[in-house]
């Protein structure tokens, strides 16, 4: 077990009921590990499923030494309550089986650990689970499954025999729960035994038609020796199934697949179709027995894989759409993983065959990130939000397209269609999986863009839906232009730029026509935006985005071979920035220039707006540098930090949505330090969005206000403590909200990272002037950047390439000497 | 504010998230008060609705003194979290409005109190709420509404102006929530202003057809002066509604019903039917302003009433039935309250007109119960479980019939049809509302009973459903016979006995034929029972029930004028008891006599069974006295207490349902002190049911094992601490589980209370030999029994009749002197 970086991360006790670490790959769905070590939130069926539990699915251990009574325990910490469900607990939760006194959970992404403590259990057990994750390799980061291990240490002076059993219900055809909390399944399921060279286990099937949305397979297997199986628990009445299983396992630590019942049962069964009475799920179990010598540790390894290939083709979100889906009115499209694997057993074989490599490569990432000198809170903000990419907020279809909701509700997505004004903030995928991010730009500029250059802010057409008809979002459209620039620079993919440039140019011209009514290159017309309303008049959020887009277009036009356009956009970029500064700068920050902020609802007027420099943020994160005067940028960020960071959110009296409250600190979206709050300011103005907090934090860091930026990050992460919120989900309009992916910019800001693959230059300009280490990545490779002062006081930099290639001819750093190390070792690519 | 008995009851801090006190009357549905002082679990629409919230429905106060800044706060304690819903909080929860630091909740039934503490609020506020409750008066205990008051104390040295505002959404036509958590309403709602001599307020209507199931009215009113109203909040976009309301109220503590918006709003509204965007509910508000002099207290009184007359006629429980209901395939039947009131405003007028009397009579009950010397835990067990009678576990229809589910799930009933084997344990309604209890017996014996005497254990036919076809429950059928006896003795209603006797006789003969296969008057055949399985062979649960039923039949036969039958049953009763004792007594307790307890599934064999003396319990609670040898009864109860009371439930490893766990104590249904646990014992054998714990506790007390009984009661109540479970809901197969109504027998046991109205005798034989006071009640009156030793050492008893009449010619007590006091005062009847 690898506990190298345990001291760098927070730990969550078993009572941290909100902590849930998502296993599963990109576009595969998930199952989560809770702080008690339980498997929870089964979301493997192409739908979000917070709270979805699989009955009878858990691990347990039986420990016995010579002359001692065996001790059999479920490998989960005790249920802390409340115990107030209408029936106490669901039958399938088996709440009355003995559990362990305490647990501690931590994670070094993509690995999660749960350590158990219990005086009655003679061994020390730690669970370890992960799904392989390798930057730049979306395929190997997209395996529909997870490895689950238990490390069992024998601290006694005598040898012990330990049996570890895992049970998993076959929930294929999952159609929710009945009023008894039992699974409703479409079709009939079967569990079969399978052996392969690398593993042995159970393959779960259903008799549903392979084209049906609920069709699929699940595999549950181990690579261990000395294994016994139960293909399916006894099909009795009431609790016969679990009673028999537990008695069987507890008696000798082995499973007997031939047990039956012959005694007559209950009359009710002859008479009434009472779901609680008859176990309809088929629950399979796998037990592994090992002898653990005194003082030694043994590991018991299991894996779960799934393959539920067909997802509804479309964006199903609101009640009407759910009803249409229930009525069968959506076609299906396959998940990308279905193009790589025929069924769950094939996934299982591949996972086992390549596990050493997959795990080693995953650990290289862990080491690169957690082994850095980045502050703990930054590592946490970057790493934990990677979860978004592998949650149901995102999906990945057979045609290679990658999609994002804004976030997810418990059981359905929220915010359809790669919403450009929300994804505007996100950086993580652009850096870690740039090929996926590029599909989003292609969908926008090659699929959605109107002939006149208007970009619908929801991309619906590529999934066969009608075009989103509303006015384009000014922030989303301008940001998308900058993001094309970013994708091009991070990939060096000139063909990508060539393909998209005509559309980008059209979109830029549209933006100028549509939002700049007076020709000063500052948006002043009706500006629809991410607050789901429209701004009027000049403001720096849209102004900085326009300046950034123009600057990006100037560079792209040149590269696309259109020098006239390059000149036009260069001129406009300068004019845009100058005019914005003149119009909106109030000496302390950028205001909205509007004579009567109450003439329209939802303005902010003289307010200090946290997103006033969103364009500047995007410019930095994309490598465009300053688009507004650096001193004003820095002053404005100071003003945001001073005015909008609230120590105790209870002092903010608001009727808006609430993401921070009571004595929690938070950065509100707007404040009015000099008064002038409109009667109806924009309806999210009092809200605290982690995506904006990170945007501001990264912007502060870019401007050298590092401590302020880190303070903000600490506040955000402090609110996600496992008790009040899930450390692996920052919520806004949904769990795992996409805007939180702005967090990756904390890393690029601290690293001073600018990538220009087309130009062959990569720049590291860390905020730290001395010793410093960080993970880096771009479209062709990833690794670690290190700088340290040697004994002579010279700054020495080392650029280590762990996977892929350096990708540039020139590396710029503040160091006196630079060394490039490229890996050629097992597991590296 | 009446805080007389505050020290007798437990208090729950605002963080006790499970604590929810149900307002509402018999057969009316409910709204609950939570420990933070919030209104929660709106269940006024003829369905259970745990977790159903009404958006924008809360109370707030604005306090201002001369020269001070006004302080405006929602009158709820802060939200303690988790804050992890997908969108943080629902918009309608207004989680960002300022709340109070802390709260403490307590209840002296039917009154609930929540005291708030907050350093920033210049006044001390306590909420008081109740729905009138008077034993024996089901009509006045069945008012669909509640009084909600705020007592505001000004502890400062200066006068303060205090405004109290209440807001309530018009949720008529309630059809659940959309994916945004917003109300879905059938039909269109309107709010109108109404004034009456006793109150002024708002009347909520819907344009649904009055015959439709979702039709109804709601009233919200006050009897205060200096009132301002807002009929409906601004119909704007996004959060305009709440922003405007809060600004309006916070500005001057008064409401302006004429406020409008003229500035243009958001484009989205022109384009997309986005439920969060437009407030569809109409939220009404009522504000009352008072000046409170230094050191003084003022009370602000409001009331809510509702009238949702039509409920589905039938027992809708499982998925198929829910689907049939959704498809409109159930007729409707009116609630009983609809026969008394035409609409919610009529309820409101009546409530206000008679409030002094209704409240005084309710307080007489509180004083009679809480002013007694009964142990705190007994008062709590009796009083808190009265909630069952006024929860959705029960309903009361226009024809006068009273019905009970076993309990309720969050959103649907659980266990249809007055299940006789579950209601077997319940005593509360039999004593407090005997007229209602008698309708349940009439339904069984006049409606359901087969020609051959078989009694379906679910009564379905009176609501138009097909007869329950399964084998009768031996325990339910035998218990129902005893309960006819109880109802007759508690009411003195000879006509009731005459009407039912032929059926009772038929049921008794059926029981003998069906369950006693060898003529020894001990059941030994297949005995279906409350564990949802069948026992085989002699056992004391069924045996004691048969002995009790035979003894009851002997008395009833005599009274019904059938001396031959009386003789037959007398003989059989004696034979039954003697044979049972001979067959099952093992020297320590009564076993199941079965050669091979594994020959059938779900037996208990040599186990010590907590329900082994259920028939004896019912005999005592009904006034039949001992039916088995008193020494064996006492020994068996000692054995149950010793063997089945588990100190730490974590030591019980069970796959069954779980109602007590971890370090909690609990009485399991069965144990095997000498071994012999079957491979598949009855499937609830390891479970802890409060209804059985009270049954055993009362039985212990009846046998003089008072401390043991009280210990059990303390354990049960200790588990319901507000954090882990709701103090006002003991759950088994559902919230507010009917079996918990066995708790009333704790009172009758301690009081040694035997009522024989037909015979004109009432007996008080308290377990306490000295000073003692208790509430008493029967079908004709209720009051307080007191005994004390006077200075001469003589025991003096006083029987106070608070409502109704003494009802008997003879009162038996252990006292040397007995005084009867009958009330003739305002409010008494």
Reported as half-sphere exposure (CB side, CA atoms, 13 A), residue B77 has a value of: 24
Cα–Cα distance for residue pair A684/A421, rounded to 1 Å: 14
Select the residue from B91, B413, B655, B686 to test the A interface by mutation, using most A Cβ atoms within 10 A.
B655
* Shared-domain flag, residues B732 and B712: yes
Cα–Cα distance for residue pair B26/B403, rounded to 1 Å: 11
Please judge whether B601 and A725 are an interchain contact, meaning their C-beta atoms are less than 8 angstroms apart: no
For A657, the closest of B89, B184, B599 (CB atoms) is: B89
Please judge whether A655 and B409 are an interchain contact, meaning their C-beta atoms are less than 8 angstroms apart: no
Please judge whether A179 and B238 are an interchain contact, meaning their C-beta atoms are less than 8 angstroms apart: no
Assess whether pLDDT exceeds 90 at residue B270. Answer: no
Helix (H) or strand (E) holding A517: none
* Shared-domain flag, residues B553 and B590: yes
Do residues A37 and A127 make contact, with C-beta atoms less than 8 angstroms apart?
Answer: yes
Q: For B286-327, how does the pLDDT look when each residue is reduced to its tens digit (9 = 90+)?
A: 999 999 999 999 999 999 999 999 999 999 999 899 999 999
For B598, the closest of A245, A263, A686 (CB atoms) is: A263
Cα–Cα distance for residue pair A222/A211, rounded to 1 Å: 29
Q: What is the dihedral of CA B639, B641, B644, B645, to 10 degrees?
A: -160
Please judge whether A96 and B657 are an interchain contact, meaning their C-beta atoms are less than 8 angstroms apart: yes
Please judge whether A731 and B263 are an interchain contact, meaning their C-beta atoms are less than 8 angstroms apart: no
Cα–Cα distance for residue pair A33/B748, rounded to 1 Å: 50
Answer yes or no: pTM beyond 0.90: yes
* Chain B nearest CA to A344, separation (Å): 30
Domain end call among A751, A774, A797: A751
Do residues B531 and A238 make contact, with C-beta atoms less than 8 angstroms apart?
Answer: no
The pLDDT, as a whole number, for residue B829 is: 44
Please judge whether A268 and B236 are an interchain contact, meaning their C-beta atoms are less than 8 angstroms apart: no
* Shared-domain flag, residues A349 and A420: no
Cα–Cα distance for residue pair A710/A724, rounded to 1 Å: 21
* Chain B nearest CA to A18, separation (Å): 7
Q: Identify whether B672 is part of a domain.
A: yes
Chain B residues in contact with A50 by the CB 8 A cut-off are 86
Please judge whether B268 and A532 are an interchain contact, meaning their C-beta atoms are less than 8 angstroms apart: yes
Is the peptide bond prior to A581 cis by the omega test (within 30 degrees of 0)? no
Nearest CA in chain B to A275: B318
CA distances from B403 to A329, B137, B459, B493, B617 (A): 43, 17, 9, 21, 23
* Shared-domain flag, residues A284 and A432: no
Q: A317 touching B, CB under 8 A?
A: yes
Q: Identify whether A8 is part of a domain.
A: no
Please judge whether B469 and A271 are an interchain contact, meaning their C-beta atoms are less than 8 angstroms apart: yes
* Chain B nearest CA to A516, separation (Å): 19
Q: B724 touching A, CB under 8 A?
A: yes
Q: Identify whether B686 is part of a domain.
A: yes
Nearest CA in chain B to A597: B263
Please judge whether A598 and B271 are an interchain contact, meaning their C-beta atoms are less than 8 angstroms apart: no
Q: For B581-592, how does the pLDDT look when each residue is reduced to its tens digit (9 = 90+)?
A: 999 999 999 999
Please judge whether A658 and B95 are an interchain contact, meaning their C-beta atoms are less than 8 angstroms apart: yes
Residue A475 neighbours by CB under 8 Å, 6+ apart: A421, A424, A527, A529, A530, A541, A542, A545, A614
Q: Identify whether B829 is part of a domain.
A: no
Nearest CA in chain A to B649: A96
- Under DSSP, the state recorded for A447 is I
* Shared-domain flag, residues A97 and A214: yes
- Number of continuous H segments (helices) and E segments (strands) in chain B: 19, 38
Place of tokens 């003739």: B824
Chain A residues in contact with B657 by the CB 8 A cut-off are 87-89, 91, 96
Reported as half-sphere exposure (CB side, CA atoms, 13 A), residue B508 has a value of: 31
Mark which residues 333-392 of A lie under 8 Å from B by CB: none
Pairs of residues, one from chain A and one from chain B, whose beta carbons lie less than 8 Å apart? 272
Domain end call among A725, A751, A777: A751
Chain A residues in contact with B72 by the CB 8 A cut-off are 653
Select the residue from A186, A657, A666 to test the B interface by mutation, using most B Cβ atoms within 10 A.
A657
For B734, the closest of A86, A244, A533 (CB atoms) is: A86
Nearest CA in chain B to A266: B533
Q: Kindly give the interhelix angle for B494-515 and B434-442, rounded to the nearest 10 degrees.
A: 50
Q: Which domain holds residue B296?
A: 18-357
* Chain B nearest CA to A80, separation (Å): 8
Q: Identify whether A828 is part of a domain.
A: no
Residue A23: closest CA among A131, A141, A114, A167: A131
- Under DSSP, the state recorded for A213 is T
Confidence of residue B826 (pLDDT cuts 50, 70, 90): very low
The pLDDT, as a whole number, for residue B179 is: 81
The pLDDT, as a whole number, for residue B586 is: 98
Domain harbouring A588, CATH code:
1.50.10.10
Alpha helices by DSSP H, listed for A443-493, are 474-491
* Shared-domain flag, residues A529 and A660: yes
Q: What is the dihedral of CA B35, B40, B44, B47, to 10 degrees?
A: -100
Could you state, in chain order, the average pLDDT of each consecutive group of 10 residues for chain A (829 residues)?
Answer: 88 98 98 98 98 97 94 98 95 96 98 98 98 98 98 97 98 92 92 96 98 98 98 92 97 96 87 69 96 98 98 95 96 98 98 98 98 98 98 98 98 97 98 98 98 98 96 98 98 98 98 98 98 97 98 98 98 98 98 96 98 98 98 98 98 97 98 97 98 98 98 98 98 98 98 98 97 98 96 95 96 95 62
Q: For A290-344, how does the pLDDT look when each residue is reduced to its tens digit (9 = 90+)?
A: 999 999 999 999 999 999 999 999 999 998 999 999 999 999 999 999 999 999 9
Mean pLDDT of chain B: 96
Query: What is the bridge-based pairing of β-strands B402-404 and B394-396?
Result: antiparallel
For B724, the closest of A81, A87, A409 (CB atoms) is: A81
* Shared-domain flag, residues A410 and A501: yes
* Shared-domain flag, residues A799 and A723: no
Q: Identify whether A12 is part of a domain.
A: no
**DSSP string of B724-738?**
SS-TT---BSBBS-G
**DSSP string of B417-457?**
S--HHHHTT--HHHHH-HHHHHHHHHIIIIII--TTS---S
- DSSP three-state, residue A289: strand
Q: Identify whether B7 is part of a domain.
A: no
For B655, the closest of A83, A243, A263 (CB atoms) is: A243
Q: A742 touching B, CB under 8 A?
A: no
Q: What is the mean pLDDT of residues B717-722?
A: 98
Q: What is the ipTM of this complex?
A: 0.96
* Shared-domain flag, residues A524 and A613: yes
- DSSP three-state, residue B293: coil
When divided into structural domains, chain A yields a total of 3
- Under DSSP, the state recorded for A461 is G
Mark which residues 384-423 of A lie under 8 Å from B by CB: 407-410, 412, 414
Residue B471 neighbours by CB under 8 Å, 6+ apart: A267, B526, B528, B534
Q: B491 touching A, CB under 8 A?
A: no
Domain harbouring B113, CATH code:
2.70.98
Nearest CA in chain B to A410: B86
* Shared-domain flag, residues B250 and B230: yes
Assess whether pLDDT exceeds 80 at residue B546. Answer: yes
Select the residue from B60, B71, B88 to test the A interface by mutation, using most A Cβ atoms within 10 A.
B88
Chain A residues in contact with B316 by the CB 8 A cut-off are none
Chain A residues in contact with B17 by the CB 8 A cut-off are 82
Do residues A435 and A490 make contact, with C-beta atoms less than 8 angstroms apart?
Answer: no
Q: Is A452 exposed, middle or buried (0-12, 13-18, 19+ CB in 10 A)?
A: exposed
* Shared-domain flag, residues B121 and B270: yes
Q: Is A599 exposed, middle or buried (0-12, 13-18, 19+ CB in 10 A)?
A: middle
Mark which residues 239-278 of B lie under 8 Å from A by CB: 239-240, 242-247, 250, 261, 263-268, 271-272, 275, 277
* Shared-domain flag, residues B580 and B453: yes
Reported as half-sphere exposure (CB side, CA atoms, 13 A), residue A260 has a value of: 4
Residue B83: closest CA among A649, A54, A190, A630: A649
The pLDDT, as a whole number, for residue B666 is: 98
Helix (H) or strand (E) holding A311: strand A310-312
Q: Identify whether B689 is part of a domain.
A: yes
Assess whether pLDDT exceeds 90 at residue B449. Answer: yes
CA angle A152, A154, A159 (to 5 degrees): 125
A271-275, B42-46, B60-64, B237-241: the lowest-pLDDT one = A271-275
* Chain A nearest CA to B817, separation (Å): 49
Nearest CA in chain B to A261: B601
Do residues A80 and A15 make contact, with C-beta atoms less than 8 angstroms apart?
Answer: yes
Chain B residues in contact with A178 by the CB 8 A cut-off are 318-319
Nearest CA in chain B to A250: B653
Cα–Cα distance for residue pair B396/A462, rounded to 1 Å: 56
CA distances from B355 to B55, B109, B146, B359 (A): 28, 17, 11, 6
* Chain B nearest CA to A735, separation (Å): 5
Select the residue from A49, A56, A83, A409 to test the B interface by mutation, using most B Cβ atoms within 10 A.
A83
Please judge whether B658 and A95 are an interchain contact, meaning their C-beta atoms are less than 8 angstroms apart: yes
Confidence of residue B760 (pLDDT cuts 50, 70, 90): very high
Domain end call among A728, A751, A774: A751
């Amino acid at each position: 077990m690898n506990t190298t970086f345990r001291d760098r991360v927070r730990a969550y006790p078993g009572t941290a009921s909100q902590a849930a670490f998502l296993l599963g790959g990109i576009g595969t769905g998930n199952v989560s590990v809770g702080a008690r070590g339980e498997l929870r939130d089964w979301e493997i069926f192409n739908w979000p499923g917070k709270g979805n539990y699989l009955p009878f699915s858990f691990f347990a251990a039986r420990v016995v030494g010579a002359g001692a009574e065996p001790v059999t325990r479920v490998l989960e910490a005790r249920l802390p309550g409340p115990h107030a469900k209408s029936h106490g607990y669901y039958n399938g939760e088996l709440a009355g089986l003995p559990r362990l006194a305490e647990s501690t959970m931590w994670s070094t992404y993509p690995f999660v650990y749960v350590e158990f403590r219990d005086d009655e259990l003679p061994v020390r057990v730690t669970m370890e689970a992960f799904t392989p994750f390798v930057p730049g390799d979306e395929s190997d980061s997209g395996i529909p499954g997870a490895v689950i291990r238990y490390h069992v240490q024998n601290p006694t002076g005598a040898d012990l025999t330990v049996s570890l059993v895992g049970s998993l219900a076959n929930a294929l055809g999952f159609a929710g729960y009945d009023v008894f909390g039992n699974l409703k399944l479409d079709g009939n399921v079967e569990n079969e035994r399978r052996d392969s060279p690398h593993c042995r286990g159970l393959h779960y099937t259903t008799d549903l038609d392979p084209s049906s949305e609920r069709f699929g397979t699940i595999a549950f297997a181990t690579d261990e020796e000395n294994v016994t199986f139960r293909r399916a628990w006894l099909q009795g009445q009431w609790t016969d199934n679990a009673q028999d299983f537990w008695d069987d396992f507890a008696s000798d630590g082995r499973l007997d697949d031939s047990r039956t019942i012959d005694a007559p049962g209950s009359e009710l069964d002859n008479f009434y179709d009472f779901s609680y009475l008859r176990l309809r799920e088929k629950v399979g179990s796998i037990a592994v027995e090992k002898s653990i010598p005194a003082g030694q540790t043994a590991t018991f390894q299991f894996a779960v894989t799934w393959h539920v290939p067909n997802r509804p083709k479309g964006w199903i979100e609101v009640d009407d759409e759910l009803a249409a889906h229930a009525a069968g009115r959506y076609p299906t499209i396959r998940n990308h993983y279905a193009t790589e694997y025929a069924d769950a057993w094939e996934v299982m074989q591949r996972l086992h065959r390549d596990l050493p490599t997959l795990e080693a490569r995953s650990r290289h990432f862990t080491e690169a990130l957690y082994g850095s000198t980045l502050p703990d809170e930054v590592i946490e903000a970057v790493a934990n939000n990677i979860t978004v990419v592998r949650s149901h907020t995102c999906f990945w279809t057979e045609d290679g397209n990658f999609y994002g909701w804004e976030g997810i509700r418990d059981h359905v997505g929220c915010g359809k269609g790669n919403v450009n004004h929300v994804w505007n903030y996100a950086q993580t995928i652009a850096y870690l999986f740039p090929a996926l991010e590029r599909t989003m730009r292609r969908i926008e500029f090659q699929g959605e863009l109107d002939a006149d250059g208007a970009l619908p802010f929801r991309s619906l057409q590529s999934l066969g839906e009608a075009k989103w008809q509303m006015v384009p979002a000014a922030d989303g459209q301008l940001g998308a232009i900058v993001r094309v620039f970013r994708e091009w620079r991070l990939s060096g993919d000139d063909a990508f730029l060539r393909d998209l440039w005509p559309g980008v140019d059209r979109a830029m011209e549209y933006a100028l026509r549509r939002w700049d009514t007076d020709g000063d290159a500052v948006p002043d017309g009706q500006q629809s935006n991410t607050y789901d309303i429209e701004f009027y008049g000049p403001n720096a959020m849209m102004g900085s985005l326009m300046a950034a887009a123009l600057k990006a277009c100037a560079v792209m036009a040149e590269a696309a071979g259109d020098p006239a356009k390059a000149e036009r956009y260069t001129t406009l970029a300068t004019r845009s920035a100058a005019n914005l500064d003149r119009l909106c700068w109030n000496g302390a920050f950028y205001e909205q220039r509007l004579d009567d902020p109450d003439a329209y609802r939802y303005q902010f007027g003289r307010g200090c707006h946290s997103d006033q420099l969103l364009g500047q943020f995007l410019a930095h994160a994309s490598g465009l540098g300053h688009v507004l005067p650096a001193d004003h940028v820095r002053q404005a960020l100071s003003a945001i930090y001073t005015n909008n960071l609230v120590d105790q959110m209870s002092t903010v009296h608001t009727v808006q949505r609430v993401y921070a409250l009571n004595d929690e600190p938070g950065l509100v979206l707007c404040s009015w330090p000099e008064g002038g709050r409109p009667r109806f300011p924009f309806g999210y103005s009092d809200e605290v969005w982690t995506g904006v907090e990170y945007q501001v934090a990264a912007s502060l860091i870019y401007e050298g206000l590092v401590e302020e930026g880190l303070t903000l990050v600490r506040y955000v992460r402090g609110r996600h403590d496992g008790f009040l919120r899930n450390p692996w989900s920052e919520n806004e309009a949904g769990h795992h909200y996409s805007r939180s992916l702005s967090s990756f910019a904390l890393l690029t800001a601290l690293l001073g990272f600018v990538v220009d693959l087309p130009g062959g230059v990569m720049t590291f300009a860390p905020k730290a002037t001395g010793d410093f280490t960080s993970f880096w990545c771009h479209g062709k490779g990833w690794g670690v950047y290190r700088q340290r002062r040697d004994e002579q006081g010279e700054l020495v930099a080392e650029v280590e390439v762990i996977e892929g290639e350096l990708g540039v001819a020139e590396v710029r750093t503040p160091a006196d000497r630079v060394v490039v190390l490229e890996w050629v070792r097992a597991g590296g690519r």
